[in-house]
A and B are shown apart, each in its own frame.
Chain A
Amino acid sequence: MIDHTTAVVLAGCVLIGATSGTAGAYALLRRQALLADAVSHAALPGIVLAFLLTGERSFSVLLPGALAAGVTGAVLVQHTVRWTRLEQDGALALVLSVMFGTGIVLLTVAQKAPQASQAGLSSFLFGQAAAMLSGDVVGLFALAALLLFAVAALWKEWKLISFDAEFAASLTLPVTWLDAALMIAIVAAVVVGLQTVGVVLMSALLVAPAAAARQWTSRFGTMMLLSVAFGTLAGLVGVGASNAMEKGPTGPAVVLAASGLVVVSLLFGRERGVVWVRLRRRTKRRGVMAEQLLSALAQIAIQHDDPFEPRERGLIGADQLGAEEYDDLLALLERRGWIRCVDRYHWALTPEGLDAARRLGHQRGSA
């Protein structure tokens, strides 16, 4: 049985994971991962200012402040790039440090304030899942639903501006507005996770599910689905793990779970995972070597009256290849039905093998 608090945290983290997975896929594909980091840091002064103005500690009250500051940060970055000689990376570093620094200063001011409720405001730095209320979960749910709706409604438009904004503009799509809407969606996804995950780690949670998903597929739709699934899974696993640890830090656990998914995917992802890519490369290399061996064998065979009569095994190739590799390639050729291993010391070309050798020779000649 899980108690009420745990249920709230679990629901909240799953929703945060899902929205992160959705918005993060766009952020990653548009190469805005670092922008998301700047946005999450930039949100801090907004949160503290909202607190100073209202004296309330509830996340729903602080959220508009975070959103406004986050959007301000994103816009500042873009304008810095446009109007100064700073490049994107410089602008990001500048905006991030200036706004985060301001946030820290404001935080110090807030902590001197008389309200008792300011306690725990600094938990926004590293997140505090236990602070989540059931009202927050309702808000998160509404946001996730809205995001889902927007993604469905603007599916092809958001996909197109992420791939080729200029072409989108040539189709008379309102690229500026679509861009702004997508930016707001990303900022919103960042900001809603701040209370739970914290300013410092939030962008990692945003990007990780998408980065993991990309290792498994090269299709946009599949990547989106996987990204959402991975985000959700990270939420589940993170909460589970931190519960098992007794008072383990929930936010960081969720981020760690997501990062774990990234590591596993980088290694074993079906599309680009290191292991598969290596394996595919090896298979391909073996295939090419087998084909080369086949044409060498065929060349010897056709010099005789009966190309299909058995020949001695050590005749060719063995000096360039290791004995084991040579055996291995011959076995591969036999599996493909291109040669017959008559006994341990003889092989014979098959008619299929001769055909294949001719075909390969032809391909190579025309390429």
Chain B
Amino acid sequence: MRARKQPLHVPHDPPAVHIEDLTVAYHDRPVLWDIDLDIDTGRLAAVVGPNGAGKTTMIRTIMGLLRPLAGHVYLFGRPVAEQRRRIAYVPQRAALDWDFPASVLDVAMMGSYGRLGWFRRPGRRERLQAIDALQQVGLQGFEDRHIGALSGGQQQRVLIARALVQDGDLYLMDEPFQGVDAVTERAIIDVLRRLREEGKTVVVVHHDLQTVPEYFDDVALVNVRLIAAGPVEDVFTDENLRLTYGGRTPYLPSLRPGAPSPESSQ
């Protein structure tokens, strides 16, 4: 991943995501401003920024759900419109109606709908794929459960299973770690690493700054503009974080060893 100030040097594999001069607005109000960003294939990348920074907007634009005011997005070297089938998507859990009459297996199988095309119903094969995906996220035995009868962390894992059934090359996940406990977080990060081993690219909107260095290869710091992007060890600095979060310097014990924790100072 890099913020492309300088031209690309060696022309090798096209990046999984190539964002150029991107400006996105809702009703004339720019939410993303002049973003240039490349995310290389096979990386685990975090998108980090304060609330309202435009992270979700960025994900939606990468998927081609929003028409940018200016600029464009290329996926694997081609325009988004031609590549949308290679995307697997995990939306923000809170955006969904969990009261909807559907079982865990139903929702996981929805990942196959794009592949199936018109008029074909999911069959035995799609069922097996869904069961396998649920197993990968540790939800075996929950297939027939109503989705409303799951905990928040389990719901999150159902959405990830659905994306696994999609079997994309580029995984876009909007805050998959929100509201999950430590065990679920482990389970999810294991899945992400397995995806990376398979050569997939995974882009994750992430809020927990402390775990960024441990979990991710690359990070993009966003606040309307792209503040910095690149390998975590290069760009995930105090200075960049201050720029991203404005005056409100986020608390970062991992980067400032020896600093008193908020609990102990109370």
Partner-contacting stretch, out of A69-77, A218-226, A228-236: A218-226
B101 touches A223 (CB 8 A): yes
Chain B residues positioned under 8 Å from A169 (CB to CB): 63, 65
Q: Is the CB of A214 within 8 A of B101?
A: yes
Chain A hits for B101, CB < 8 A: 29, 214, 217-220, 222-223
Residues of chain A lying within 8 A (CB to CB) of residue B65: 166, 169-170
Partner of A164, one of B87, B96, B116, B166: B96
A218:B148 contact, CB within 8 angstroms: yes
Q: Is A151 an interface residue when CB atoms closer than 8 A count as contact? A: no
| B89 engages A170 (CB within 8 Å) | yes
Beta-carbon nearest neighbor of A224 in chain B: B101
Q: B95 contacts which chain A residues (CB < 8 A)? A: 166
Task: Tell whether, in the assembled complex, residue B119 and residue A153 are in contact, meaning their CB atoms are under 8 Å apart.
Answer: yes
Which of B87, B96, B118 contacts A170 (CB under 8 A)? B87
Q: How far apart are the CA atoms of A219 and B91 in the complex, in Å?
A: 22
Determine whether the beta carbon of A162 is less than 8 Å from that of B91. Answer: no
Report the stretch among B38-46, B102-110, B245-253 that lies at the interface: B102-110
Return the chain B residue nearest A168 by Cβ: B113
Report whether A156 and B100 are in contact in the complex, using a CB–CB cutoff of 8 Å: no
Could you tell me which residues of chain B, from 107 to 130, have a CB within 8 Å of some CB in chain A? 107, 110, 113-114, 116, 118-119, 121-122
Minimal beta-carbon separation of A5 from chain B (angstroms): 39
Given the complex of chains A and B, what is the CA–CA distance between A173 and B107 in angstroms? Answer: 17
Question: At the interface, yes or no: B97 with Cβ under 8 Å from chain A?
Answer: yes
Q: Does B146 contact A (CB under 8 A)?
A: yes
Whole-angstrom CA separation of A170 from B87 in the bound complex: 8
Chain A residues within 8 Å of B119, by CB:
153
Chain B residues with CB under 8 A of A214 = 101
CB neighbours of A166 from chain B (8 A): 60, 65, 91, 95
Cα–Cα distance between A119 and B187 once the two chains are bound (Å): 70
- For residue B84, CB closer than 8 A to chain A, the reply is yes
Of chain B, the residue at the smallest CB distance from A170 is: B89
CB distance from A44 to the nearest CB of B (A): 31
- Taking a contact as CB atoms under 8 Å apart, the answer to whether A156 and B89 are in contact is no
Closest to B65 in A: A169
Binary flags per residue of A253-293, CB closer than 8 Å to B gives 1, else 0: 00000000000000000000000000000000000000000
Task: Give CA–CA (A292, B116) in the complex, Å.
Answer: 50
Are B89 and A218 closer than 8 Å at their CB atoms? no
Nearest Cβ on chain B to A88's Cβ, whole angstroms: 15
B103 and A164 form a contact (CB under 8 A): no
Interface presence of A160 (CB below 8 A):
yes
Q: Are A29 and B100 in contact (CB under 8 A)?
A: yes
Residues on the B chain within 8 Å of A159, using CB: 102
Chain A residues with CB under 8 A of B196: none
Confirm or deny: B85 has a beta carbon within 8 angstroms of a beta carbon on chain A.
yes
Chain A facing B: main interface SS: helix
CB of B138, distance to nearest CB on chain A (Å): 15
A171 to B110, CA, bound (A): 10
B99 to chain A, nearest CB (A): 9
B96 touches A163 (CB 8 A): yes
Residues in B with CB closer than 8 Å to A164 are 91, 96, 110
Q: A170-B84, A173-B114 are in contact. Are A220 and B121 (CB under 8 A)?
A: no
A81 to B28, CA, bound (A): 18
A171 pairs with B103, CB closer than 8 A: no
Complex-state Cα separation, A214 to B97, whole angstroms: 15
Instruction: Please indicate which of the listed interface residues B85, B89, B166 has the most CB atoms of chain A within 10 Å of its own CB.
Output: B89
Residue of A nearest to B162 (CB): A167
Question: Once the chains are docked, how many angstroms separate the CA of A167 from the CA of B146?
Answer: 19
A window 196-238: CB within 8 A of B: 214, 217-220, 222-223
The answer to whether A163 touches B97, judged by C-beta atoms less than 8 angstroms apart, is yes
Which residues in window 129-186 of A have CB below 8 A to B? 153, 155-157, 159-160, 162-164, 166-173
- Taking a contact as CB atoms under 8 Å apart, the answer to whether B148 and A172 are in contact is no
Which residues from chain A contact B96 at a C-beta distance below 8 Å?
163-164
Cα distance A164–B106 in the bound complex, in angstroms: 13
Give Cα A170 to B96, complex, Å.
15
Q: Which residues of B contact A218 (CB under 8 A)?
A: 101-103, 146, 148
When the two chains form their complex, are residues A156 and B116 in contact, meaning their CB atoms are under 8 A apart?
A: yes
Are B103 and A167 in contact, with the CB atoms below 8 A?
no
Smallest Cβ distance from A364 to chain B, in angstroms?
17
Known contacts A153-B119, A156-B113, A160-B113, A170 near B63 by CB under 8 Å: yes
Complex alpha-carbon distance, A356 and B258, angstroms? 48
A164–B93 alpha-carbon span in the complex (Å): 11
Q: Are B114 and A171 in contact (CB under 8 A)?
A: yes
Q: In the complex, what's the smallest C-beta–C-beta distance from B144 to chain A, in angstroms?
A: 9
From residue B173, how far is it (CB to closest CB) to chain A in Å? Answer: 12
Contact status B89-A163, CB under 8 Å: no
Q: How far is the CA of A29 from the CA of B148 in the complex (A)?
A: 14
Bound-state CA distance A160–B114 (Å) is 11
* Listed residue (A153, A164, A168, A214) with the most chain B CB atoms within 10 angstroms of its CB: A164
Knowing A29-B101, A220-B106, say if A156 contacts B121 (CB, 8 Å). Answer: yes
Measured between beta carbons, the chain B residues less than 8 angstroms from A153 are: 118-119
Residue of A nearest to B98 (CB): A163
| B85 to chain A: closest residue by CB | A172
The answer to whether A167 and B89 touch (CB under 8 A), given A153-B119, A155-B121, A172-B84, is yes
Q: Which residues of A contact B148 (CB under 8 A)?
A: 218
State how many angstroms separate the Cβ of A151 from the closest Cβ of chain B.
12
Q: List 12 A-B contacts (CB under 8 A).
A: A29-B101, A156-B116, A163-B100, A166-B65, A167-B89, A167-B91, A170-B89, A172-B84, A173-B113, A173-B114, A219-B103, A220-B100
3 nearest interchain CB pairs?
A171-B114, A218-B146, A170-B89
Known: A163-B102, A219-B101, A220-B101. 9 other contacts (CB 8 A): A156-B121, A157-B113, A160-B113, A167-B110, A170-B87, A218-B103, A218-B148, A220-B102, A222-B101
